[in-house]
């Protein structure tokens, strides 16, 4: 039997993924919280301790591992995870998000479990190509391709997956504080520059070096609300590489707040 361990963090995606697994997963599974006590979780797990994680996975006879949701590891725990590659494989210490993804892939291999992204277990979370919600805006093909290209260039730095543009001009980029903070900053910038409401574009792409084993870029109802408040009129997400949480609510809000959401790629 293919037993699954679903490791959940914080945020809408973690809650949505947990509900989907409980409803649809046909095999045996356990839900472990990566952030302390969480609703409906079977237990807690410290993902900042690689050997403990390996032992827990082995003891529970887990075959497949999936981690989903936000986890804010302290610098000490990041270094602890990154050091696993150095100690056991003479690897390079890399405390970036991509470096940690590589470390966790190695940890899963050592625990003899298959590691998957939530989009592989719940494909319906992926945004497809074309119109997702809100007003149907005729695509500006050349301009949108340029925005995607620019967003991927910035994402390659491993800083963030989201960029706000005014035309082809980057206005603000996501950092370690996430998309919500980005949209608050974009609102203030738009007010300072007197950019009319609806003229900003939010672009979300996967980091080119990202495997998808960690969280892919995600939008949800809160994203749409913040976009509308910030004067973002169009949200472009990379098709088949971006997750949509609570799609019915996203579609309703996009229509109500006149925010066009498009899957591109």
pLDDT in tens, 186-237: 999 999 999 999 999 999 998 876 666 666 899 999 999 999 999 999 999 9
Measured distance between the N- and C-terminal CA atoms of the chain, rounded to whole angstroms: 37
Q: At 76, which helix (H) or strand (E)?
A: helix 75-89
Neighbouring CB atoms inside 10 A of 106's CB total 18
Which residues in the chain are classed under CATH 3.40.50.20? 4-121
Tokens matching residue 141: 């093909």
The CATH architecture of the domain made up of 4-121 is 3-Layer(aba) Sandwich (3.40)
Do residues 13 and 19 make contact, with C-beta atoms less than 8 angstroms apart?
no
Percent of the chain clearing pLDDT 70 (strictly above): 96
Which residues in the chain are classed under CATH 3.40.140.80? 126-264
For the entire predicted model, the pTM comes to 0.88
The CATH architecture of the domain made up of 126-264 is 3-Layer(aba) Sandwich (3.40)
What's the number of CA atoms in the CB half-sphere (13 Å) around residue 166? 16
Question: pLDDT tens for residues 157-192?
Answer: 878 889 999 999 999 999 988 999 999 999 999 999
Average pLDDT over residues 115-137: 93
């Amino acid at each position: 039997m293919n037993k699954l361990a679903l490791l959940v963090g914080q945020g809408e995606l973690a809650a949505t993924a947990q509900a989907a697994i409980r409803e649809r997963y046909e095999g045996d599974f356990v839900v472990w919280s990566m952030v302390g006590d969480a609703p409906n979780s079977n237990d807690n797990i410290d993902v900042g301790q690689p050997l403990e994680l390996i032992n827990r996975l082995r003891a529970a006879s887990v075959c497949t591992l999936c981690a989903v949701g936000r986890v804010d590891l302290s610098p000490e725990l990041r270094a602890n995870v990154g050091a696993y590659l150095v100690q056991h494989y003479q690897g390079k210490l890399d405390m970036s998000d991509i470096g940690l993804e590589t470390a966790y892939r190695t940890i899963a291999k050592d625990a003899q479990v298959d590691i998957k992204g939530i989009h592989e277990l719940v494909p319906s979370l992926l945004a497809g190509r074309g119109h997702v919600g809100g007003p149907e805006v005729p695509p500006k093909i050349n301009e949108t391709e340029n925005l995607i290209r620019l967003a991927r260039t910035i994402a390659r730095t491993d800083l963030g997956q989201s960029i706000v543009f005014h035309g082809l001009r980057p206005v603000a980029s996501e950092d370690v504080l996430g998309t919500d903070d980005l949209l608050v900053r974009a609102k203030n910038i738009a007010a300072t520059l007197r950019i009319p409401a609806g003229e900003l574009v939010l672009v979300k792409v996967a980091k080119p070096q990202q495997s998808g084993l960690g969280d892919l870029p995600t939008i949800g109802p809160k994203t749409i609300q913040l976009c509308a408040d910030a004067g973002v009129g169009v949200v472009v997400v990379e098709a088949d590489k971006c997750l949509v949480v609570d799609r019915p609510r996203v579609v309703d809000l996009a229509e109500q707040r006149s925010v066009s959401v498009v899957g591109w790629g």
